[in-house]
Structure 1
């Protein structure tokens, strides 16, 4: 099976690093899927998006991301997010409270939407 090296990094920490067979990300140009051997590219992540990584064992790693970039070479993917949170770390109830709060600003709403979406994507295998 073909594989590539993947790093998912936020400003404050490394969230995941390892070998993967597939990466999917929401970009300003739309959803993109990346497999080993992909053409090199640089993309911008959307505010309040998600990134999904399928490792070489078939496990899905899903993260809510809020802005940033990713770079792709034929055998590496580097996701460099401004903010990121693994789906397994999300406090879903807190995110839903933000979504229900009419005083929450647009940035807070987008981040909360991404958190809920990441958890939902992780649950649907």
Structure 2
């Protein structure tokens, strides 16, 4: 497992949200959605406002969070998600998020936030 695992940290402005070993990370950046496996080429990307991040842990668990901007740093051995704001998908209700999305003005920050929350719920469900 050590050959396919790498260290991941998810940090927001307020706190460290998660730290551990993972086998796969998905992130939505301004350049598009990307997947990261062990020994990925180093990169630095900007997370989209209203995006999401998913982490497959070494224990086989999938974690997902809605992120509100920030950065993604990838080295050969570590991925760091530096989010301006983040919310775990497990704390979200899909019907509530869909209602927020329907009520949000097009192009608004509320719409972007709801879209990121919905994507995080989809990541959690494995879609």
So what's the TM-score if we normalise by structure 1? 0.90
Show the counterpart of 2:49. 47
Please give the root-mean-square deviation of Cα atoms over the aligned residues, in Å. 1.7
Q: What is the SS of the residue equivalent to 2:49?
A: coil
Superposition pairs for residues 45-84 of structure 1, below 5 Å? 45-84=47-86
- Check whether the contact 1:23–1:33 (CA below 8 A) recurs between aligned residues: yes
User: Relative to structure 1, is the Cα distance of residues 74 and 95 closer, same or farther in structure 2, using a 3 angstrom cutoff?
Assistant: same
Q: Match for 1:31 among 33, 49, 56?
A: 33
> Once the 2 structures are TM-superposed, how far is the Cα of residue 103 of structure 1 from its aligned partner?
5.2
Show the counterpart of 1:113. 115
So what's the TM-score if we normalise by structure 2? 0.89
Ranges in structure 1 where 5+ consecutive residues have no aligned partner: none
Ranges in structure 2 where 5+ consecutive residues have no aligned partner: none
